[in-house]
């Protein structure tokens, strides 16, 4: 990581995420990033998935989730049937008890947490108490390298002011795309 980058990006100093700085910066740039992502969906360049993969490593070199956990604090994962069976077994509960204790079904029929922060987040350490069996959605979040990226642009638009890694990915994608134009 170059010193130039560190100086120009105070919210990602030494991989540590400052959520306060992030929220300020994201509030200011959100609209611009959302518009850029809409344009990207229309353009849908053939190498979009490759661009995302090339950016992914840089994002994770610069963002440390253990200093953030904003996804676990502010959003809910979607639990698949398999997730529910795996996690409830791990917790020595029936799937029925697990759902009635912590989950609710939304209008689309997806199982989500009843409340935020997630009941499995240790707020002191930012660690997940069910890390080994956490939902597949949590494992893949924020889905930067998900194929086809163009089908996940609406997800990135929702997350750009909530997830510092998504924010960083969009920032880098803008630089790459504008450089090529």
Residues that bind ligand SF4 (CB under 6 A): 63, 65, 68-72, 77, 118, 120-121, 128, 130, 134-135, 138, 141-142, 163-165
| Smallest distance from ligand SF4 to CB 142, Å | 5
Rg (CA), the chain: 18
Nearer residue to ligand SF4 within complex by CB, 42 or 124: 124
Distance CA 29, CA 171 (A): 10
Nearest distance from residue 29's CB to ligand SF4, in Å?
16
Nearer to ligand SF4, 36 or 102 (CB): 102
Backbone angles phi, psi at 113, to 5 degrees: -65, 145
- Cis peptide upstream of residue 60 (ω within 30 degrees of 0): no
Residue nearer to ligand SF4 on the CB measure, 44 or 122: 122
As measured in angstroms, the least distance from the Cβ of 175 to ligand SF4 is: 19
Minimal CA–CA distance to 79: which of 55, 109, 107, 38?
109
Asked whether 70 and 164 are in contact (CB, 8 A), the reply is yes
State the Cα–Cα distance between residues 174 and 39, nearest whole angstrom: 11
Residues 6+ apart with CB under 8 A from 66: 126, 127
Q: What's the rounded Cα separation, in Å, for the pair 166 and 68?
A: 13
Least Å from the CB of residue 40 to ligand SF4: 20
- Taking the least distance from each CB to ligand SF4, the nearer of 86 and 134 is 134
CB-wise, 39 or 154, nearer to ligand SF4?
Answer: 154
| Least CB distance to ligand SF4 at residue 124 (A) | 13
């Amino acid at each position: 990581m170059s010193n130039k980058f560190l100086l120009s990006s105070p919210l990602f100093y030494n991989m540590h995420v400052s959520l306060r700085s992030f929220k300020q910066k994201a509030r200011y740039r959100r609209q611009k990033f959302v518009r850029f992502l809409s344009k990207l969906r229309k353009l849908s360049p053939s190498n979009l998935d490759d661009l995302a993969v090339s950016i992914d490593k840089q994002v994770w070199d610069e963002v440390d989730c253990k200093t953030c956990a904003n996804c676990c604090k502010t959003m809910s994962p979607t639990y698949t049937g398999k997730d529910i069976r795996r996690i409830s077994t791990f917790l020595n509960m029936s799937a029925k008890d697990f759902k009635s204790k912590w989950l609710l079904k939304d209008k689309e029929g997806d199982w989500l947490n009843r409340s935020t922060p997630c009941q499995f987040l240790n707020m002191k350490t930012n660690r997940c108490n069910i890390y080994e069996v956490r939902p597949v959605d949590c494992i893949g979040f924020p889905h930067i390298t998900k194929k086809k990226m163009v089908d996940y642009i609406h997800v990135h638009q929702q997350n750009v002011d909530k997830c510092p890694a998504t924010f960083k990915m969009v920032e880098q994608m803008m630089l790459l795309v504008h450089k090529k134009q």
